[in-house]
Structure 1
Amino acid sequence: MQTGTLTSNWEQDRLVLAASGRWDLASAPKLQSQMRDPAQGRRQVDVRIDLSSLAALDTTGAILLDRLIGRLEADGHKVSLNGGRQDLLTLLEDVRGAIADKAPPAPAARPVPFALADRIGRATIGMWQDILSMLNFLGLVTVTALRVLRSPGRLRLRPLFFHLEQVGLNAMPIVGLLSFLIGVVLAYQGADQLRRFGAEIYVVNLLGIGVLREIGILMTSIIVAGRSGSAFTAQIGTMKVNQEVDAMRTLGLDPVEMLVLPRMLALLIALPLIGFFANVVALAGGAVMAYVYLDINFVQFTRQLQIAVNTTTLFVGLVKAPVFAVVIALVGCYEGLRVSGSAESVGLLTTRSVVVSIFLVIVLDAAFSVLFSYIGI
C-alpha cells in the first residue's frame, strides 16, 4: 500500500506540488512534515497542485489538502488544482465546504468608541445571563432541598459530617489566627487615635461594635469563601472532568442532592459557629493589645465591653452568617458544575468562584448595613 507523499518542483516561475499515493489517516504524520514549507519561503507565486497521481483520499487527507491550500493562499500564492478522480474531488469539495460553513465570520473592524461599547454591551449581557443562570440554579437547589426535607432519609449524613469537619473544624486555626491579628490591629489603630483625646477606654467600644457587627463575620466569610468555596469548585469540577457526575446521572442519582446539598448544609451549620469563634478570638486579640498598649486590664475591658455591646449587636453580625453561607456554597458548587472537560477549566472557574463569592459577600454585607440602619438596629 503506497503511503501519501507531497513532492514539489519548479516549472519556470510556477511551483508544482504533486500529491500522490494514499492521503489517509495513516499517512497524516508524514504528510504534515512535508507540508511545512512547500513554497520554500517564496511569496506570491503561482502554485499548481497536481492530484492526478492521488490513489485514495479520506476525510483526514481532505482536511490536510484544505489546510495546505489555505496556508498557501494566506501567504499570497495563487493556487489551482489539476487532475484527480471525480470522486476524490467531490470529497475534497464537501470537506472544504463543511469547514467553511463552521468557520466563524471575521469580525468587522469597528472604530474604537464602538468597539468599547461593544465590549461593554457583551460583558453586560454575559453578566445578566450569569445572574439568571445562578438564580435558576438556586431554584433547582431549593426544590431539591424541599424534596429532601419531605423525605429526610434521602439526606446523606456521612458526606455532611465530612464537610462539616472540612469547612468547620479544619478552618478554625486560620480563622482564629487572622481574627486575633485583626483584633490587635483594630485595637492599636483605635487607641492611637483616641488617646489624643484622653478617651482610650472607648477603644473597647470601637472594637466590640466593629468586630461583632461587621468585621468578625465579614472577614470569616471572606476566608471561608477563599478556602472552602474554592475547594467546592475544585472538587466538583474534577469530578466533572473525570465524568463522575455523568456517571451519577446515568445511575439515576441527582448530582444536586449528592454533591451540592451536603456541602451547603455543612457550611450553613458551620459558618455561624466559626463566626462566633472569630468574634471571641478577635476580642481577645484586642484585649491583649489594650492591656499591653493602654494598660487596660481584662476586668476593665470586660466591664466596658458589657456597656458598649448587647445581644442585639451580636445578633446583627451572626444573622448574616447563614445568608453568606448559602451564597458561598451556591457559587462554589455552581461554578464546579459548569466545568468543561479540561483541567484549565477547573482552574479558571475556581478563581472565578472565589472572586464572585467575595464580591457577593461584600455586596450583601453592605445591603445588610443599609437595611439595619433603616430599621434602626
Structure 2
Amino acid sequence: MQFIDLKTQYRLIQDDVKARIDRVLEHGQYIMGPEVEELEAALATFVGARHCIGLSSGTDALLAALMALEIGRGDEVITTPFTFIATGEMIALLGIRPVFVDIDPVTYNLDPNRIEAAITGRTRAIMPVSLYGQCADMDAIQAIATAHRLPVIEDAAQSFGASYNGRHSCNLSTIGCTSFFPAKPLGAYGDAGACFTNDADLAKRIKEIRNHGQDRRYHHPRLGLNGRLDTLQAAILLSKLQLFPDEVEARSRLGARYSELLQERGAHSSASTEESPVLTPFITPHRTSVFAQYTIQLEQRELVSEALARDGIPTAVHYPIPLNEQPVFQSSIGQCPTPVSDRIAQRVLSLPMHPYLTDADQIRIADAVARATGLRL
C-alpha cells in the first residue's frame, strides 16, 4: 500500500501530460512560457481571485508575499508553531521575528482567541496555516487583522481546493500562498507554487519579485529572487487541473469515510468530550477539507505506527516538533505558551490518503488501527 498514490492518477492523464510536455519542448520557452500565463488564469478562475502569480515553490510564494508587503528586519509576524518549517523559515529568513501563537485543540489551526494578546507595536502581519487541508478560522482572524490594520497571509500549502463559508482557500485574505509539491492535493512533478490576491499593486510587486525584482528587462525597482514557475511544471498542472474537481470531491468523501469507519470501531471526533484512544479529524460546519493528510490523534504513536507497518500500512507524522521547539527558533521561545501544540505534536499520526483509495483499503486500515489501539473491530 502506498501512502500517496501518484501512479494511478498519472495513468488517467498520461497521454495529455505527454502531449503538453511535447508542446513545451517544441516551442522551447522553458522559462515563463505561455503555459504559465494560461495556468495562472485557470487557477485564478478556480479560486475566484483576481490575480494568480505562479512561483517556483510554495516556500518562495510565502517569501514573495512577505517581500511584497515590505515586511522586514525588526518586524514581527504572528503565526502557528504547528506547521512545516517553511512557514516560520521564510519569516525568519527576512530578519522578521516569528511570534508563535498556540492552536485550536479541535482543528489544529491558529487559535483566533489567542492572537490579540500577541500583537505588539512591531506586528506587521498574521500568517495562519490551513493545516491538513482545512482552512483556519479566516473570518475571525481577518476581523482581528482589520481592527489592527494588519494584512493576512494564508499559508494554504495544504488546503488548495478547500472551501470556507462558500469561498475558496487562497481567496480569503490579503494574499493566499499555496504549494504544488507533488504530494499536495494539486501537485506538479517537481516544485511549484502560487500567490493569489485581489490587490493589483501587490500582484505587480509579486510578479517583479519572482523575476529578480525587475519590472522590465534589466530594470530592477526592487530586490527579488529567482522564483519563476517552470513552464514544464505549468503544463503538467494544466493537465492535472482537469481531474482536480473530482479529486477534491473524492478526498472529502474518503475523509468522511475514514472517520465513519474509525468511529464505528469506537473512535471519537477531536471535537468530542468523550474518552477514546483514537480521535478523528473534525471539519467545522460550512468548511470543507481536501485532506492533504488524514490525521488522527492517539497515545503510544510509535507502537501503533510500528504495528501498522507490520500490516503493510505506511504512516507519517505531521509534525512531531513544534517550530518554537526547533533549535533554529530558540530566540522565539518564551513569547507565548503553546501547550496545545506541544501535546498534539506528540499524538498525531497520518494515515494513507489520496483520491484513489478503495473502500477495501480504508476498511483494512481502520481494522489495523483498531487492533493496534484497542478499539473494537
Q: Same fold (TM over 0.5)?
A: no
- Structure with the larger strand share: 2
Q: TM-score, normalised by structure 1?
A: 0.21
Bigger radius of gyration, 1 or 2?
A: 1
- Structure with the larger helix share: 1
Q: Which has the higher contact order (CA 8 A, sep 6+)?
A: 2
Q: TM-score, normalised by structure 2?
A: 0.21
